[in-house]
Each structure stands twice: as C-alpha cells, then as structure tokens.
Structure 1
Amino acid sequence: MKNFFIKLTFTLLLAGSYAAYAQLPENILKASGSPANPKVPMAWNRYYDYTAITDVCKKLAAAYPNLVKVESMGKSFTGKEMWVMTITDFKTGDASRKPAMYIDGNIHSNEIQGSEFALYTAWYLAESFADTKFIRELLADKTFYIAPTINPDARDNFIHNPNTASSPRSGLIPIDNDRDGATNEDGFDDLDGDGNIVSMRRKNPNGRYRADPKDPRRMIVVGPDEKGEYELLGSEGIDNDGDGFVNEDGEGAYDPNRDWAWNWQPNYIQNGAYKYPFSLPENRGIADFVMKHPNIAAGQSYHNNGGMILRGPGAEEDLNTYNAQDVQVYDALGKMGEDLIPGYRYLVVYKDLYSVFGGELDWFYGGRGIYTFSNELWTSFSLFNKPGADNSPDASYFFDRYLLFKDAFVDWKPYKHPQYGDIEIGGFKKNYGRMHPGFLLESDAHRNMAFTLYHAFHTPKLSVDEISEKNLGGGLREITAVIANSRLMPTHSSQDLKYRIEVPDIVSLSGAKVVAGMVVTNRDMGITAEQKVDPANLSVANIPGNGTVTVRWIVQGSGAVTVSVDSKKGGQAVRKG
C-alpha cells in the first residue's frame, strides 16, 4: 500500500510538472487578441452552472486583486447570491468616480449564453491587462460592473433538469398558470429518463406531417396530393393534473423582463408581468445596485436569440422618450455593432419586433438615463457564414449532421405513452437552436465583448483643455477654462436632462478668491450666464459628446489656480493654470 501511494504521488507530481511546463511562456506562441497564459485558465466552448460561475468570479478576484473585486447585489428567490464583479485599475483611482459600463446576462433562464459572454468579458479584461495597451488605458479610465447571471435559480434549473430550448424563461417562484388552485403540478416529464425533453409524434395516416426523405429525422408538412404519416403532439410530457393540457403548469410563468419600473403593465395587458414593478427579488437587487452607482453611463443586457442589437423603446407608447440627440448616439454605437458582429442587425424593439412593457432596457434608459443595448445572441447566419444559407428549412439538420456529427439530436424511438398510446419521442436537445455550439461560442463572445468595450470607451472622457488669464486691473483677473469631452456620449443623456435624473456637473476653481463665476454661452460674442450662488463651483447642465463647455471666473489676488471637474457619469479632471 505504501508503494502504491508513493507511485501515485510521483505520477501526480509528474503530471503537474508536465502541465506547468506546457504553460510556460516560452512554450507558447500568443495568438493575436487572446491571453496567452491566463492565471485563471478557462474553456469557452461550454456552459457553466451557478457554482462554476461563482468559482470563476472568486478566482478572478483572487488572481487580480488590483483589477477585480466581487460582491453580491442581493439574493435570488432561493437565496443564491447575485454576484457582480467590479473591474477597473484600482491603482488609478476610485472605481465609483470613473464612468462605468454595466453588463448582465441570463435574465431568462433558457437564454443561457449571456452569462458566458459576460463572464468572458470579465476574464478577458483581467487576463489581457498586462500585455494589451488598450485594455490598460481603458481600465485606467473606466469601470465595468459585470453580473454574469441575474436569474441564478432558473439557470441551474435549466442546466441540471430536463428542459427544452425554450423553457423555462422565468425563475422558480411558484405560479398557478392554469388557475386550478395548485402550482407546479404539471410541466415537463422526461418520459424515457435520458435527461432530454424533446418532441412527441404519433403515426397517423391522416396527419399533417411526413418524414423528410433527405433526412428522416425531420418532419415536413405534406403536400396537397400526399399522404400523411405523423401527427405532432408537442413537447415530451404528460398531463399530470388531468385538465387536458400537457406541460402547461410548471415552475414559474412570469417574465423577469416585464418586471421593471418603466411603462410597466399588469399581466392582463402584458403577459408575463408579476405583481408590481420590482416584485421579483433579483430585479430589485439590480435596481438597488444601479441606484447606488450613478457613475453607470452605459448598459448591456444579453438575451438570445436572433442576432440582434436592440435599443428601446419597447413600446410605441414610449416613442417620444427616445429623442433625436440620444438616438444619434445609439445609432453610431449600434451601427458599429453591426460591423463588429457579422450577421447581427441593429434594431428598435417596438418597431422591428413587438411591444415590451416593463423591460430592463427601457428602465435603464428611461428611468436612469443610461444608454443601454440588449443583444439577442446567436443567429443562424453563423451556421455557414454566408447570406441566405441559413434560410434553408433543413439548414439546422444539415449543420448538426456534418458539423456536430448528430450530437444535437435525439433519434426518434418508440414509447408507450399513458395517454397517447404508442408514440415516438425524439428531436433536438435543449442546447441547440437557441444556444451556440461549442466551437462558435468563444468567437461570438469575443465579438460581442468588443462591442461593449467600444460602448464603454465612448462613455465621457473629460479634460480641462485650456486655462487662460486676463488682467482686469485693480487686483482682478479673468480666468477662462475650456472643459472638453473627447468621447461620443455626453455627461447627461437627453432623457437624464429632461427628468433631471442626475445632478449637474460641477466645474470648480481653487487657488484664488472668486468674486464672480459664469458659464460662457458664446465666447466670441462675450455672452455669459452668471451663477451668483457659490460662484467658485459652477453648475454645468451637460458636457456634450465630442464637445466643449467654457466657464469663466473673476478672481481677486495673484497666484496659480486649479480647475477641476466632477461629473457623476463623466468622471473627474484636474488642471493647474
């Protein structure tokens, strides 16, 4: 026995030495744009449950204490911590005083890859900091708040329990969907116990379907002169409660993306709404976090699917909320997204899809003035990367057959159903159709991340570009300063200004006694607007994107002066005159 343990120890040490050797920098040729030797090794061709996500968040924080900190935004319905990572170069300043980008994923449990995309972003920022100048400069200026999963209960339900690609969307709060007085008494049943919920079909010469001769796995509608072979019976399951319906009363039925406090509507108007805005603990936790972080200037939420870069409004009734100035910013960012992510389209929710009331996207912008996108991840364009190829009705079957080697499909097999009798069950697994196949996951994660980094880059960047002085005589001087914003986004969106969501920016002068202070509205014509109260600290409503604001003071006495700028969403800037 002693010899066995000696041999086992030697084997493990040897294996460890090989693993360490394989990761030595001299043994690796760095691929452009990717971390070569990460401290937290990750595989981005799979999906992680809540425990694994928690582990990655904590490992990143431990490996990069000067870049990553992890905290909880609150607890889910079942008590899971809702992790959010704060990522910035903490050595270059207070994270809460830098313009910030908020990113989350997985509000709908079946829309799973948003978590991986958010997690990839956090991982990439930390692991690329040392050898990528752009990332170092970005994290010196900006803060990222990244919440990989904002529906952790249902994420684990989706991953660990039998489900279809479209179930469930909600969390795990019990709901009586069919109003029979009981909850969770129906829902999916894994008839054959293989861990998959697929489809049911029954042979029927009068059915509307037959097997496709090119691929018998696929059901196609019979032509007018053809004889049917099958009828389709829906997703695998049983009518457990005897009400005549299968799979209609499972865990949850609300939609977390109908729970936000902007243009919220009750369930009879907007199906999926819960009790009242922020009645779900997960959304309440996010809202509290955002309210406590007024530096959040940009937002990104990840959904699936369809290959879309979405902005609001969610409903036509809210059309006037998105005014022309803000739409120009959205358009510039969204069109860049189309260039960065092939096959994705920049769209408006209500106009190009359907109405959404009480959506996260609209609350972030409408309620907080934050420029926010919602990306619908995965597009069938990615199947073959050429226009039109994805429109073929059998494209998914062809892709599964020749690129996934039939790994995504459960072959049809007979089953004795207690209600339908002799049937067959088979079809695509839950991890196909709405979710990326493994080999395409990292590529799309990187492209979507690049879009969010571009968005974050264009949050305001302020500087004091000019301090000039003019002697007025009598011991008085005129100090003029030009405050510049070199990025696309203003310090206050038009929505922010309209509802005075955030406090104005403050431009201050120190080093001399201020007699008068004013905002210069036309420097050439000498037109100013004086601020009589607290003239040393001028209140500026907005510093426009790619624009400037000019301020002026009349001061008494000699000596150097310092001009500083403090903006909740624009950060800080200081310059000595």
Structure 2
Amino acid sequence: MTYDFDRYLRYDELTKWLHETAAAHPELMTVESYGKSYEGRDLWLATLTDASTGAHGTKPAHWVDANIHSVEVTAGVAALSIIDRLVNGFGTDPLVSRALRSRTFYIVPRVNPDGVEWVLADSPQRRRSSTRPWPWRDAHRAPGLHERDIDGDGRILTMRIPDPNGAWMVSAEDPRIMCAVPTEGTDADTVRYRLMYEGDIVDHDGFTVPTPHPPEGLDMNRNFPSGWGTTVLGSGDHPLSEPEIDALVRAIVNRPNVCGYNAFHTSGGVLLRPSSTRRDSAVAPLDIWVWTELGKRGTELTGYTVHSVYEDFTFDKSETMSGAADDWVYEHLGIFGWTTEFWDVVHAATGTKQSTHFWYTGPTEAEELAVLRWADEHNLEEMCVPWYPFAHEQLGAVELGGWNDMCTWTNPPLSLLQAEVQGHADFAIHQALAAPELEIVHNAAVALGDDVWRVEVGIANTGWLPTYVSRKARKDRMVLPVAAHLAGATVAVGTARQELGQLGGRSGMRFSQRHDGTPDRALVSWVVRAPAGTAVTITAEHQRAGTVVCDLVLGA
C-alpha cells in the first residue's frame, strides 16, 4: 500500500498500512493490539527498535500517541510519518540508526478510532472524542441545535440566518467573511445575521435555539487520573472510565522503560508542556529547565514555539484544563510529557503566531481576511465556501458556507499536510536520545587465590537525563534503582544481586560549575569462588535506562 502522508486514512487503511509496514521491516517493527475501543476496534501499537541489539523492553523508550480528539486528524498522519522516518532511515541515516539500535519507540497512531471514523465518514459527524453516549447513556438529544452535514456534501459548515439583532454582519472587505457587529451597533439598513453550526434543531419552539452538548459529550483527554474531576467538561464517570484511556494507561505503565511522552493534537503550531493546573513556580525548577532545553531543539526542528499550558494557554486560571495525558505522565510517572498542537493557519498566512488565547477568542477580522487572501493566492478553494441558499427543515431559508474548519482552522489543507508534519519525527528522535542509557564501561577479575576472585564492573549512565529522568520522579520515589546481578559462579561474600541507587546524567553536569565528579558512574564488585576459565555473566538493569550484559572469563 502506497501512502504519501497527503490524506487521512480510514481505520481499515490505517490497519493495512501498519501491518504491511511491519511485514516489510520485521527486524525493526511489530504491531499489536493493546485494547479495544468502545465500538470494538483494535487499538494498534507499533513498536520500533533494532531487534538485533536487544528486545524492546531492554532499551530506554519514547512514547508517541495521536488522535485522542476525533477531528484532529493531522495528528495521526504525523504519528505515521515518524514510523516511516524510522523504518526508511535505518541503515542510511546515522541518527535514525543510532536511535533504533539503542532506543525503542512506541507509537499509537490513533487513540480514538471510533471518533475518527465518524469524522472521516462520507456524511461526517464531529465529536470531541469518543462515540460513547455520555452523560446520558440513552444518547438523549437535548432540545437545540445538533451539528450535522444537513445537505450531504461531506462538510459541516456554518449556517447564517438573517436576524436584525444578530451579532454578525458581512465584512466590507470580502463578502465571504463575517465580522462582529460594532459595540455601538449598526444603522437599520445593515443586514445582520446569527451564526450557527450546520445542523438540525431538536424540538424547535420557533423562537429559541439552544446549543447543548452532543449526546456523545466525552473528552477523553480529561479522563486521565491526574487532575481528574467532575467539574472538568467531558471528564467521564471516573478516571479511566473510557476503554481507550484505560487501555492506553495500562499499556504505558506496562512499559516502564518509557522515558518521554508526546501526545499529538491540533491546532496552534505549538509545543505545550505541563503543568495544566499549576504555575511554573510550583514545579521543580530543574524539571522546567529540562523542558526548556528540550523545547529549544523542538523549536529548531519544527518551528513550533514552547508554552506552559497553565501560564500561557489557560484563559481563566480558575478553570484549568486538567485530566490530560501530559500532566498524568509527569505527575504519576515522573517523565517529561508534551502535547504537540499541529498547524497554525494564521502563521501560515501572515508569518505571525496566533494568540495563545486563540482557542477562546477565535480569529480577528484582520486574521480571517489574511487567511482568506492567502488561501486565494494558493488556490485553496476548499478552505472557505461562498454562501449559498438552503431550505432548513426547522429554520426555513438560511445560507450555508463560510470556513470549512476541517481544512482551515483545525487541520491544514491536504496539499500542505505532508510538509506540516515534517520535523516532528526528528524531535521524537531527539527526545529518545536524551533518555538515560546504561552501559558497562569497565570490567575486571582479580585472582585472590584458591579459586577465589574479585569480580568488578563499572556501570555508567551515558545518557543526557539521569536514570530517574525527572526531579519529580526522584522526590516522589517513582523509579527503582539500578541493580546488578552476577551469575555463573558462587558468590562467597555478599549477594549475587546488588542495588546501586540512581545515576546522574550529562544534563546535571550543567550545574556542577565544571567540577563534575562521577555521579553518572557506579562500581560494583563481588567475591566469587570458581575455577579459572569459568565464564560469569553480569547483568546491569534499570527500568528506564535499559539492560546491559557483560560476559567475563575468570583468569582470561
């Protein structure tokens, strides 16, 4: 199956591409189901590593997942592009080759397959995430407008309804654009409109049009344990109430070698980091520093700027965006989490980043006009639809048109899709290579007489991050220590297994005033009894930094 990352794959195509890619690269990639969605679809996890250098669980790993929100389909394309970069770069690209030989990548290209299928259907339905009815299990539709593709053209646009008290009027600059009525109002000759999503009105009373939440009102990125609460919109019945999130959390926890995490979303053209609920001053300063250092490289590779969710993206600090995945991996696992929000159409059109409160305020008239002119210049007619009449079953004569959100504000036009996701694979590789990595860099066997030997090995963390990864993890004792085990000879003094604590990484030496010492090293020894020529095996392991093995022949 040929795929050029210039369109969105339906579930069956996605499944086929994953399995065909794994079959073409069996030494690098496997695919497994880690659970089932609400509608019973397999949730696919791709595992990528060079199997010749060790099993996936013996190496530090980086986790990427995408498309927890159904309309954010660019995210899934980006996840697939990482897989493509890894399997096709191995053996030819030194950076990719080194990463796959020493690291593991876990990639979930579609956390929410049910919702995406609704969005990509010929007659689409847009939901925030899951298709499970919630909070009313009978899928009751409350009175009011429920968005739907009412004319069957495969798009959900905007309805404009003439209303002398409407809040919108046609822009004087371009008739396709609607602008806000001025604060002081307008003269009587100005035609004003009320704007609503394309859709049906349930139990219309002929006068009011409520805008209730859809029957499927979940937001699965509010269903993670960290910060979960009933006051958070769409959070579900309880933490992990949704099968997709329960399965995802268990899959991550069952892979303790995960050292970094990235969730792919749209939109904004930004790299978001925790916390979503606290100021930076309440987070460990060294952890903020690590995020900043990683983010610098992320910006270089992707052009996306780095922001704290709470500090920069929370419009009302009394209503935080809690229960999210990146907060959970940091608060509960102590690993550095990111949320990548792909695509900033304002920046594409103007060269200026959209406001960090864009999700709340929307575009200005000037921004809309700039985007429209840019779309015209690049022949992107699908982005904005000229208004056309439609006979609405409840409202009568209305017009449909305006922005096609799916290929304007939420996702890029398909012709720009491939270019938009480039660079993000290399940021994933960068994060993976920043992980701690155990190596045995010294070994010796010293004869003490009468078939007694002192065996010693020097174990080092040669990675950038410490073995515990974050200060949060170390403070809250989330990570087990490095352990070393000797086999093949009788241990005369002490025990075969020794725990060595945690090892520092190169990142910590930035704070050593160039007086490093060896916080990244540990020397361990055993006194053993065995005849000369005996082969002993020393295994050093750490849940995050990996497993390494050294074979040593006594007296050799």
Report TM bin, short chain. 0.7 to 0.9
Aligned with 1:245 (options 201, 205, 209)? 209
Shift of 1:53: 0.9
Shift of 1:172: 0.7
Distance 1:476 1:326, change over 3 A: farther
Letter in 2 for 1:270: V
Task: Please name the residue that 1:278 is paired with.
Answer: 240
Task: Please name the residue that 1:545 is paired with.
Answer: 505
Shift of 1:127: 2.0
Task: Please name the residue that 2:220 is paired with.
Answer: 256
Q: Structure 2-normalised TM-score? A: 0.84
Task: Please name the residue that 1:497 is paired with.
Answer: 474
Aligned with 2:66 (options 105, 115, 120)? 105
Shift of 1:207: 4.1
Deviations 1:365-401 (A, max 9, x none): 2222232211111123551473469984212211221
Shift of 1:563: 4.4
Letter in 1 for 2:130: G
Task: Please name the residue that 1:189 is paired with.
Answer: 148
1:366 correspondence with 2:331: yes
1:71-470 pair list within 5 angstroms: 71-160=32-121, 162=123, 167-175=126-134, 182-183=140-141, 187-204=146-163, 207-223=166-182, 224=184, 226-227=186-187, 228-242=190-204, 244-245=208-209, 248-266=212-230, 269-316=231-278, 320=282, 322-342=283-303, 344-354=304-314, 355-380=320-345, 382-384=347-349, 386-387=351-352, 392-393=366-367, 394-429=369-404, 430-467=406-443
2:133–2:139: 8 Å Cα contact kept in structure 1? no
CA-based RMSD: 3.0
Task: Please name the residue that 2:512 is paired with.
Answer: none
Task: Please name the residue that 2:540 is paired with.
Answer: 565
Distance 1:187 1:56, change over 3 A: same
Letter in 2 for 1:213: A
Find the aligned partners of 1:459 and 1:512 in 2 and give their Cα distance: 33
Find the aligned partners of 1:556 and 1:240 in 2 and give their Cα distance: 80
Distance 1:445 1:323, change over 3 A: same
Task: Please name the residue that 1:488 is paired with.
Answer: 464
Letter in 1 for 2:503: I
Q: Structure 1-normalised TM-score? A: 0.81
2:34–2:44: 8 Å Cα contact kept in structure 1? yes
Find the aligned partners of 1:247 and 1:180 in 2 and give their Cα distance: 19
1:109–1:151: 8 Å Cα contact kept in structure 2? yes
Q: How many residues in Structure 1 have an aligned counterpart in Structure 2?
A: 514
Find the aligned partners of 1:370 and 1:253 in 2 and give their Cα distance: 30
Shift of 1:134: 2.3
2:301–2:427: 8 Å Cα contact kept in structure 1? yes
2:333–2:473: 8 Å Cα contact kept in structure 1? yes
Deviations 1:535-558 (A, max 9, x none): x32212212222512224252568
Find the aligned partners of 2:399 and 2:40 in 1 and give their Cα distance: 40
Letter in 1 for 2:475: K
1:56-67 pair list within 5 angstroms: 56-67=17-28
Letter in 2 for 1:102: W
Find the aligned partners of 2:542 and 2:25 in 1 and give their Cα distance: 28
Find the aligned partners of 1:412 and 1:402 in 2 and give their Cα distance: 20
Find the aligned partners of 1:56 and 1:101 in 2 and give their Cα distance: 22
Shift of 1:306: 0.9
Distance 1:208 1:500, change over 3 A: closer
Find the aligned partners of 1:207 and 1:287 in 2 and give their Cα distance: 46
Deviations 1:318-370 (A, max 9, x none): 975x423333322221221111111x221112222222222111222222223
Shift of 1:62: 1.6
Find the aligned partners of 1:175 and 1:241 in 2 and give their Cα distance: 20
Distance 1:363 1:176, change over 3 A: closer
Shift of 1:131: 2.3
Letter in 1 for 2:408: Y
Letter in 2 for 1:442: Q
1:36-55 pair list within 5 angstroms: 41-55=2-16
Find the aligned partners of 1:272 and 1:360 in 2 and give their Cα distance: 14
Shift of 1:238: 2.6
1:481–1:552: 8 Å Cα contact kept in structure 2? yes
Distance 1:441 1:132, change over 3 A: same
Deviations 1:422-444 (A, max 9, x none): 32211122322110222332223
Shift of 1:567: 1.3
Shift of 1:474: 9.9
